[in-house]
Every structure is written in C-alpha cells, then in structure tokens.
C-alpha cells in the first residue's frame, strides 16, 4: 500500500496550479462520461479520478458505482491486480546509480539542504530514484496522516472485484515511469522540490475542483508552465492520452468497459474525450442525481 500511495502521488503531482474558481455551472462539468455510437452495442464509461486524497474529502458518487455495475470490465491506467506490475512498482523507487553520483558536489549540497525541509537528507535518500524524491513532495503536501489517505482507483478496484468485474490496464508501470522520466529528470525534480509550499496549495485547490466535478479547471491546473512546461505536458498528458485512445476502441468493441483515468486526462483538444469524439464516438456527460 505504501508503494501505491507513492505511485498515486507521483502521477498526481506531475500537475500544476492556477488560481481558478471551481464552479459547476457548465453542463460538461462531470467526472463521468458515457461513450456510445460508432458500432458499440452497449455503452462504455470513462470516469475522471483524483488519484489520492484524505478520507474526509473522499467520495465515490453513486452514479460512478452504477456505471461500474453496468459495465462488463474495469480498466485502470495500470492493472494493480497483476503481480508483475506490483513487482515493477516496488522497483521503480530504486536506482542503480546514487543520486550524489549524478550531481556535482555543489548540486548535492544544495539538494541536501532542500531535503531538510522534507525531514530527511541526501545520505538517507542517496540510493533512491528521482521518483522517490518526487514522492516526498506529495507526502508533505497531503494534509492528513497516511493512515487516513484514500487512493481513488484502489477504492474503485475494490468495488469492481467485489462485483466480480474483469480488470485490465491501459498501460504498464514501465510505460508510466517512462513518461514521468521524460517529463522530469533528476534536476527537474529538484526544482519541483523547491516549490513544496505551492504544491500544498495546489493539492487543496485541485480537491475543491474535483469535488465540484470541474474537470476543466483540473485540466487547467495541469497546464501552468511553472510546474509543467510544454515538453512535460506532452509526456504526461498528450502522448498518454493518444496511446489510450488508440487502445480503447478495441477494448470497448469486445465488452462494455468502465475506464478510470486521472481527471486531467479528459479535457482539452488532446484529451481522451476529444480523441474519442474524433474517432466517431458520442460522449455524453452524466450529471449527478
């Protein structure tokens, strides 16, 4: 579970923040969308998720559970029921080359000073990967103890398994880590570590937007170039959206599917919703009851 928490944070905090008001006045403001048409005999569904939050903020809306029940299979970003994926996840925070060996003495000294703000130091973190460093941002930003943390996809997975749904993944842990590495190398991660306080604000504001189902604001949060530049956006959002949208038609053609992906992947011209529309599907937001 500890590794799952770190993974959720690693993905979530490849994000950004702009001061946007989260108001659910637009009809497209929904975290759940129905996919139909283009030869589908049964509709499928796409749920935008918020990877990790405190239990006091956590809720899976009844419409999401109902859509999951109607579907034949549950498709996550990564299939957490696959033992091979769990092994890969455990390895992703390890490194073959010490962090200090990848930095100049001056850079290592600076990183050691930064890590003090996170309650650790370079000696303790030296054998960790850059993803492990990145996870520190998240662990500090979350405003509750780890015992009170909820992972949205894991809770959905529990529901899916309870009602005996088949489980699949859109990508592998290795694919996801490749995307993160393309977006944030070690020096980029160090720059992100410097902005710990801003991430605390970011997390709070994103949770507000998600709870109001304002996925347009969530998407906007991911586009602030202070935390995510164009190259990073391409690696973390655009390329992955395109890959998923290429896989989804065949998956939906075989069986009605419930897809669960991070909320920021839904919107924008390169978002999953638009990518599927361009392939001839009809996508309809499902409002809360």
Contacts (Cβ under 8 Å, ≥6 apart) of 75:
167, 168, 169, 170, 251, 257, 258, 259, 260
Q: What is the mean pLDDT of residues 94-105?
A: 90
Question: How many other C-beta atoms are found inside a 10 Å radius of the C-beta of residue 249?
Answer: 18
Non-local CB neighbours of 44 within 8 Å, separated by 6+ positions: 34, 35, 36, 71, 248, 252, 256, 257, 258, 259
Q: Given the structure tokens 């959002």, which residue do they identify?
A: 237
Considering the chain, what percentage of its residues have pLDDT values greater than 90?
57
Rg (CA), the chain: 19
When mean pLDDT is compared across 66-75, 108-117, 137-146, 211-220, the lowest value belongs to 137-146
- Predicted confidence band of residue 92 (pLDDT cuts 50, 70, 90): confident
Which of 190-204, 223-237, 247-261 has the highest mean predicted lDDT (pLDDT)? Answer: 247-261
Q: Confidence band (pLDDT; 50, 70, 90) for 224? A: low
> What confidence score (pLDDT) does residue 28 get?
73
Q: Is the pLDDT of residue 234 over 70?
A: yes
Per-residue model confidence (pLDDT) at position 13: 40
Q: Convert 164-186 to b/e letters by CB count within 10 Å (16 or more is b).
A: ebeebbbbbbebbbebbbebbeb
Q: What is the pLDDT of residues 61-87, one digit of tens each?
A: 999 999 999 999 999 999 999 999 989
Q: How confident is the model at residue 227 (pLDDT cuts 50, 70, 90)?
A: confident
pTM for the full model? 0.86
Looking at residue 129, its pLDDT comes to 87
User: What pLDDT score was predicted for residue 164?
Assistant: 97
Is the CB of residue 103 less than 8 Å from the CB of residue 130?
A: no
Confidence (pLDDT) at 121: 95
What count of other Cβ atoms lies within 10 Å of the Cβ of residue 279? Answer: 13
Express each pLDDT in 124-183 by its tens digit: 999 988 888 888 887 788 888 888 999 999 999 999 999 999 999 999 999 988 888 888
Length of the chain: 289
Please tell me the distance from the alpha carbon of residue 51 to that of residue 48, in angstroms, as a whole number: 9
Q: Which pLDDT score is estimated for 139?
A: 79
- Contact in structure between 128 and 93 (CB atoms under 8 Å): yes
Closest CA to 240 of 172, 191, 165, 160: 172
Joined together, the tokens standing for residue 174 give 């290795």
């Amino acid at each position: 579970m500890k590794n799952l928490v770190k993974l959720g944070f690693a993905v979530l905090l490849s994000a950004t923040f702009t001061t946007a008001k989260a108001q659910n006045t637009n009809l497209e403001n929904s975290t759940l969308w129905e996919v139909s048409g283009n030869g589908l005999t049964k509709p499928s569904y796409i749920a935008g998720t918020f990877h990790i939050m405190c239990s006091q903020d956590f809720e899976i809306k009844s419409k999401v559970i109902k859509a999951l029940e109607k579907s034949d299979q549950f498709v996550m970003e990564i299939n957490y029921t696959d033992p091979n994926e769990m092994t890969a996840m455990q390895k992703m925070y390890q490194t073959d080359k010490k962090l200090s060996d990848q930095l100049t003495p001056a850079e290592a000294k600076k990183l050691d000073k930064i890590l003090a703000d996170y309650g650790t130091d370079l000696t303790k973190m030296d054998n960790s990967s850059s993803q492990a460093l990145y996870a520190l941002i998240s662990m500090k930003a979350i405003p509750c103890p780890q015992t009170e943390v909820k992972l949205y996809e894991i809770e959905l997975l529990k529901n899916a398994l309870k009602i005996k749904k088949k489980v699949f993944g859109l990508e592998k842990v290795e694919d996801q880590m490749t995307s993160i590495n393309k977006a944030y190398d070690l020096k980029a991660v160090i720059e992100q570590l410097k902005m710990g306080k801003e991430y605390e604000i970011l997390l709070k504001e994103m949770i507000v937007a998600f709870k109001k189902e304002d996925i347009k604001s969530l998407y906007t949060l991911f586009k602030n170039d202070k935390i995510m530049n164009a190259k990073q956006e391409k690696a973390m959002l655009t390329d992955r959206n395109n890959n998923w949208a290429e896989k989804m038609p065949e998956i939906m053609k075989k069986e009605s599917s419930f897809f669960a992906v991070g909320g920021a992947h839904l919107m924008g011209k390169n978002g999953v919703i638009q990518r599927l529309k361009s392939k001839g599907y009809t996508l309809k937001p499902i409002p809360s009851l």
